[in-house]
Amino acid sequence: MKVYSATDIGQIRKMNQDFIYVSSEPVGNLPNLFVVADGMGGHNAGDYASRYGVGVLTETIREDHNFNPVRIMRAGIEAANKAVLAKSQSDPELKGMGSTMVVATVVGGYLFVANVGDSRLYLAGEAFRQITHDHSLIAEMVRLGELTPEEGMNHPDRNIITRAIGTTEEVKIDFFDVKLENDDCFMMCSDGLYNMVEGSVIYKVLRDHEVKDKAEKLVELANAGGGLDNIAVVVVEPYTADEPVPEDAELNAAAQTAADSAEEGTAADQDSGEPVGQEEAPVSSDPANEGENAEEADAGEDTEEEAEDDQAGPETGRN
């Protein structure tokens, strides 16, 4: 297994609110663990939300005695949600904070993924496809046919998300499972990458064997494209010709784990890429550097008015 990871403040923001965690070694009963979180909130609240949330997630996973990867990830995310929410309610400076979170682990020949928010996981194999679904206002409008994907890419409300860690008592989580093939790789990232770099360019980098550090290369491209937000990237190459996908017995064991989870309504159908459907309501937004105070907005800092909004509740958190 090869792992590449990088995070960067970008060209505009004054603080990096993205956070990543990577381990190709076991974390509790998971054989490996990869996380990308994109914090939201005024001043240092977003930075705190992503770091603290991932810390609670990983500690919960280490102590979990389950062997089902979906149950383990669910417990970790739910614990992170409760912890971030409690902090935001107890500390006025952190009120209204939250974070996206995409979590992945490779078990046997399968990739298991959990997602909340608009950070993404892509699979790059014979084709390039987004596995996760964005929990955002614009994504919902595109799914409903109210906007085309092209219209959504440049929409002023594109950073309003409908789910986040730490904004509500109960968190809704999407789960996915994907059968892996030799030479597949997957990439997890915050919106600071995919809003700056076209999917075809990302795919080319992921499949280019000449690129020594694919995460660093993608960060470089995002900054070259404007770097309007923080950037977080994790690239994992689980299996190669030298280290192939496990034999069918191990694949079947992983498939049974997914089937057990699906029966509980906690996982997607095998290889479907379709999570359990849920209705959404906006919980957070980012004016995408288009606030009235252009200088402060361009710097990624909240204006005085925006800082007051951040204290008002989860509806005004910034991703």
Residue 291: predicted pLDDT:
28
- pLDDT reported for residue 255: 54
List the domain boundaries for the chain.
Answer: 2-316
For residue 311, pLDDT over 60 is answered with no
DSSP 234: E
Tokens of 61: 């996973």
- Dmax (CA) for the chain in angstroms is 60
Nearest to 187 by CA among 125, 119, 122: 122
As a whole number of Å, the end-to-end CA separation of the chain is: 31
Give the rounded percent of residues in the chain with a pLDDT score beyond 90: 62
Candidate from 29-43, 131-145, 176-190, 252-266 with smallest mean pLDDT:
252-266
Region of poorest pLDDT, from 74-78, 209-213, 245-249, 297-301: 297-301
Count of CB atoms situated within 10 Å of the CB of 241:
7
Interval 55-64: pLDDT, tens: 999 999 999 9
The fold of 2-316 is Phosphatase 2c; domain 1 (3.60.40)
Per DSSP, the residues of 172-208 read --EEEEEE--TT-EEEEE-HHHHTTS-HHHHHHHHH-
Q: In Å, what is the CA distance from 146 to each residue of 137, 158, 191?
A: 11, 14, 22
Side-chain half-sphere exposure of 215, counting CA atoms within 13 A: 23
Residue 39 or residue 269, greater confidence: 39
pLDDT band at 248 (very low <50, low <70, confident <90, very high): low
- pTM confidence score: 0.79
Report pLDDT digits (tens) over 97-144. 999 999 999 998 999 999 999 999 999 999 999 999 998 766 565 565
pLDDT at 274 over 70: no
Assigned token pair, 112: 């298991």
Q: Above 50 in pLDDT, residue 293? A: no
Could you tell me which residue, 211 or 156, shows the higher pLDDT?
Answer: 211
Per the model's pLDDT, the better-predicted residue between 279 and 291 turns out to be 279
pLDDT tens digits for range 67-101: 999 999 999 999 999 999 999 999 999 999 999 99
